[in-house]
Amino acid sequence: MNQMGRSAGPRHSLSGRLSPVPILQVATGFWASQALLTAVELRVFTILFQGPKSAAELAEAAQESAASGEPARRFKDFQWTTLDSWSRRRRVVGKAEHTPLGSNPRFVVTSLDAGSVDARRLYEDIYCARGEMENRIKECQADLFADRTSTATMRANQLRLWFASMAYVLMAALRRLALEGTQFAHATCGTIRGKLLKIGALVRVSVRRVKIAMASAWPYQEAYAQAYHRLIAAAPSG
């Protein structure tokens, strides 16, 4: 117990002074970590994981992206298996992409054969479409509170989910019918809700009418007016 207490405490030299050995160990250990961090920043481990061919394709994509200033993609179709967790070799589609922010590699394991769908179409039209559906589910949860299902009964939680789902249908219709051609044509429900619907106004109520006065400095007046007129035009007559 005493020996453990002495080893855990500060180290002293023979003269009784504090020893700089722990500080030196931290400093020299940082030299090794710097080499590892530099290798990570240079994407060395990503390139080694992809293999020599994938590394060459990633470098080619990086050169094209640097020349055009736009993201560049290369696709690789190959068979792959693990050491022991997979029972067989499977088809893997690798995407080597380079953007102005850096490399963005992805790998997709699929049961679709190469004869039915090529690598680019499988990634861009099938895999990315699935990801876009997930984004819409997250949008409904985060922006329209579909994740607030903490009541005590299943029926109450189901009712909350129905409300959120109906709100998303209305938001999608508003975006499709009224906001096309505006800066909100592809905006999320949270952006539309915060900038077009949840706004301050002065309301005056008289015997014959209700007047709503919005701020003259509100930056989205044109989009709001356009959405209003389009919704009026889309309403059924009579």
Place of tokens 């819409």: 136
Describe the crossing of helices 221-234 and 154-177 by its angle, rounded to 10 degrees: 100
139-185 pLDDT, tens per residue?
Answer: 999 999 998 889 899 999 999 999 999 999 999 999 999 999 999 99
To the nearest 10°, the Cα dihedral for 12, 13, 14, 16?
-50
Phi, psi at 42, each rounded to 5°: -85, 5
Partner residues linked to 204 by β-bridges: 211
Q: Give a three-class secondary structure readout of 168-195.
A: HHHHHHHHHHCCCCCCCCCCCHHHHHHH
pLDDT above 80 (res 75): yes
pLDDT at 132: 82
Confidence of residue 25 (pLDDT cuts 50, 70, 90): low
Say if CB 94 and CB 106 are below 8 A apart: yes
Nearest to 106 by CA among 133, 70, 131: 131
Q: Say how far apart CA 39 and CA 47 lie, in whole Å.
A: 10
Nearest to 62 by CA among 21, 97, 106: 97
At position 177, the amino acid (one-letter code) is: L
Q: Which of 10-24, 102-116, 217-231 has the lowest mean pLDDT?
A: 10-24
At position 172, the amino acid (one-letter code) is: A
111-145 pLDDT, tens per residue?
Answer: 888 888 999 999 988 888 888 888 888 999 999 99
DSSP 8-state secondary structure symbol assigned to residue 237: P
Q: Say how far apart CA 177 and CA 228 lie, in whole Å.
A: 10
